[in-house]
């Protein structure tokens, strides 16, 4: 398992601050893909971040500054690695 996360995004570009389970601040947010009261999915500098919980609300959002604040009961934070477009089947077979 490779634990070298520094190479996957610029140092300091992404940060998470969790205060208890009620307040979350995220920097390095590039886009909010979808959200409701139980799940918020956002693209960050470190990959796609999914926040799950109950009564989730986006308290502050600044895409220009890449800052997002989430209020509510936070149960989990999950990352998905950023994927590159796969290209055509022929390119993948004979690449």
Residue 89 covered by a domain? no
Residue 1 covered by a domain? no
Residue 86 covered by a domain? no
Domain extent, residue 61, equals 12-81
Residue 65 covered by a domain? yes
| pLDDT per residue as tens digits for the range 55-77 | 999 999 998 889 999 999 999 99
Mean pLDDT for the chain? 83
Number of domains into which the chain is organized: 1
Q: What's the CATH code of the domain at 31?
A: 2.60.40.2000
| Angle at 12 (CA atoms; ends 70, 47), nearest 5 degrees | 60
Residue 17 covered by a domain? yes
| Banded model confidence at residue 81, pLDDT cuts 50, 70, 90 | confident
Can you give the pLDDT at residue 88?
A: 57
Residue 3 covered by a domain? no
Asked if residues 45 and 14 have their Cβ atoms less than 8 Å apart, the reply is yes
94 compared with 27, residue with greater pLDDT: 27
Q: Residue 65: CB partners within 8 Å, gap ≥ 6?
A: 27
Can you give the pLDDT at residue 7?
A: 44
Residue 49 covered by a domain? yes
Can you give the pLDDT at residue 89?
A: 59
Average pLDDT of 1-30? 75
Asked if residues 55 and 49 have their Cβ atoms less than 8 Å apart, the reply is no
pLDDT over 60 at 9, yes or no: no
Residue 95 covered by a domain? no
Q: What is the pTM of this model?
A: 0.73
């Amino acid at each position: 398992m490779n634990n070298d996360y520094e190479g996957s995004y610029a140092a300091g570009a992404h940060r998470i601050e969790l205060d208890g389970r009620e307040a979350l601040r995220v920097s390095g947010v590039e886009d909010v893909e979808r959200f409701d009261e139980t799940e918020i999915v956002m693209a960050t500098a470190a990959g796609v971040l999914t926040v799950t919980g109950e009564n989730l609300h986006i308290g502050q959002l600044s895409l220009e500054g890449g800052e997002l604040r989430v209020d509510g009961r936070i149960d989990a934070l999950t990352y998905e690695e950023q994927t590159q477009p796969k290209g055509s089947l022929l390119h993948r077979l004979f690449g």
